[in-house]
Amino acid sequence: MKKGYYGQFGGRFVPETLIPALEELESNFRRFKRDKDFHTRLNELLKQYVGRPTPLYFARNLTERLGGARVYLKREDLCHTGAHKINNAIGQALIARLSGKERIIAETGAGQHGVATATGAALLGLKCTIYMGSEDVKRQALNVFRMKLLGAEVREVSSGSRTLKDAINEALRDWTTNVRNTHYVLGTVFGPRPYPELVKYFQSVIGREAKRQILEAEGRLPDMLIACVGGGSNAMGLFSAFLKDDVKMIGVEAGGKGIDTGLHAARFAGGSIGVFQGAKSYVLQDQDGNILDTHSVSAGLDYASVGPEHAYLKELGRVQYTYALDEEALDAFELLSATEGIIPALESAHAIAETVKQAPKLGRDKIIIVNLSGRGDKDVEQVSRLRPR
Ligand SMILES: *Cc1c(COP(=O)(O)O)cnc(C)c1O
């Protein structure tokens, strides 16, 4: 396969001015991958700071309630800062630090990736600027405050729809100008080469751990993996270790209020092939290629495109992609809270919603691993308004 491509997907569709920055990052990444000291330092941070390995928890109550396959939860919600995003943010911050950069920048939508990046910057003594659409700044005041506490500067972006995609454009502009001392921490397995590979590299620890843990617990591989798919990094992190095995995999997108309503972020069910923000993949666009507005109850799944490797895995038929509606995710949010005492992120609740559909169809001798990508503390206020008690 051509470098940076996954079948026909991926690539590096960026202005000429960004190429040197991407080239430099790619060569640093290749170098650190082979560097023993880098791995020693990274593993130490993952263990002592992030809290890895995260448990693979057998959800006995949920399993009994669903009456089918044995359900295990990979507890990324127990990572420092409450989600898998820190695995990538710490890895990239470490690359920046060891490459001699003084500053990292990032885009953020709901603020989760901004918080993870600001955390990495605080830990490793880097300056940090986070770009965020002014609409999102208003909606996510608490995360803006968190980033500032962590020492980051938050720059509001008031162009376009004033949300995530505009923030990405501004961050890329900043990087073009300041590449000498700045690293751009992209938050998911998307964007131009080498980001999809780089982010997958740092998230693949999820799948490696889960594989070892399930072999320990059950003495065999699982029958099915389920993960939610925003850009696709937590799903890719889990799936990557099992791609060559006889294990079924399901990626769950945000079905919002339904595909026919247009109010969703289901790129596979409702999108088409196109180029967006540096990569070729499935995109929610109109016939002229204008990017459509997206909707999801969960901000982390609310994006108009999806990682190119997912598009490839879909085309190969290796991974099946489906979606969960807002209401199904909210049901799952309540179900997991009440049965297991675990309040999931609304993103992760999409994966639980699919588990609710799959587990009863499988026999009791079957095993499902669900990636619980994050904790739901950030979402309780929103759910208290949508589902008051
Ligand atoms: C951001 C986020 C996601 C979606 O991002 P992916 O790159 O698809 O993993 C999922 N879950 C949580 C908890 C998140 O914060």
- For the CA atoms of 352, 307, 84, 109, what is the dihedral angle to 10 degrees? -100
Band the pLDDT of 384: cuts 50, 70, 90: very high
Check pocket membership of 309 for ligand 1, CB cut-off 6 A: no
Whole-number Å distance, alpha carbon 229 to ligand 1 midpoint, is 7
How far apart are alpha carbons 175 and 324 in whole angstroms?
36
What atom of ligand 1 comes closest to residue 233's alpha carbon?
A: 7
Backbone angles phi, psi at 345, to 5 degrees: -60, 150
pLDDT at position 51: 98
State mean pLDDT over 324-339: 98
Query: No. of H helices and E strands in the chain?
Result: 16, 14
Whole-number Å distance, alpha carbon 19 to ligand 1 midpoint, is 27
How far apart are alpha carbons 266 and 259 in whole angstroms?
7
State mean pLDDT over 212-216: 98
Whole-number Å distance, alpha carbon 354 to ligand 1 midpoint, is 16
What atom of ligand 1 comes closest to residue 375's alpha carbon?
A: 13
Check pocket membership of 83 for ligand 1, CB cut-off 6 A: yes
In this predicted structure, the answer to whether residue 262 has a pLDDT above a threshold of 90 is yes
What atom of ligand 1 comes closest to residue 230's alpha carbon?
A: 8
Taking CA atoms only, the protein residue closest to ligand 1 atom 10 is 347
Which residue numbers are catalytic? 85, 107, 373
* pLDDT tens-digit readout, 273-308: 999 999 999 999 999 999 999 999 999 999 999 999
pLDDT at position 367: 99
* pLDDT tens-digit readout, 58-102: 999 999 999 999 999 999 999 999 999 999 999 999 999 999 999
What atom of ligand 1 comes closest to residue 374's alpha carbon?
A: 13
Whole-number Å distance, alpha carbon 188 to ligand 1 midpoint, is 8
How far apart are alpha carbons 290 and 293 in whole angstroms?
10
Percent of the chain with pLDDT over 70: 100
In this predicted structure, the answer to whether residue 8 has a pLDDT above a threshold of 90 is yes
Tell me the one-letter amino acid at 170: E
Helix crossing, 112-124 with 85-98: angle to 10°?
Answer: 40
pLDDT at position 319: 98
Residue to mutate (ligand 1; options 107, 373, 382; most atoms within 8 A of CB): 373
- Contacting residues for 173 by C-beta, under 8 A, at least 6 apart: none
Check pocket membership of 231 for ligand 1, CB cut-off 6 A: yes
Whole-number Å distance, alpha carbon 332 to ligand 1 midpoint, is 17
Whole-number Å distance, alpha carbon 16 to ligand 1 midpoint, is 30
pLDDT at position 52: 98
In this predicted structure, the answer to whether residue 110 has a pLDDT above a threshold of 90 is no
Check pocket membership of 192 for ligand 1, CB cut-off 6 A: no
Percent of the chain with pLDDT over 90: 95
Taking CA atoms only, the protein residue closest to ligand 1 atom 2 is 300
Band the pLDDT of 104: cuts 50, 70, 90: very high
* pLDDT tens-digit readout, 155-180: 999 998 888 888 999 999 999 999 99
How far apart are alpha carbons 386 and 373 in whole angstroms?
22
DSSP for 198-221, written as a single string: HHHHHHTHHHHHHHHHHHHHHSS-
What atom of ligand 1 comes closest to residue 82's alpha carbon?
A: 13
In this predicted structure, the answer to whether residue 135 has a pLDDT above a threshold of 90 is no
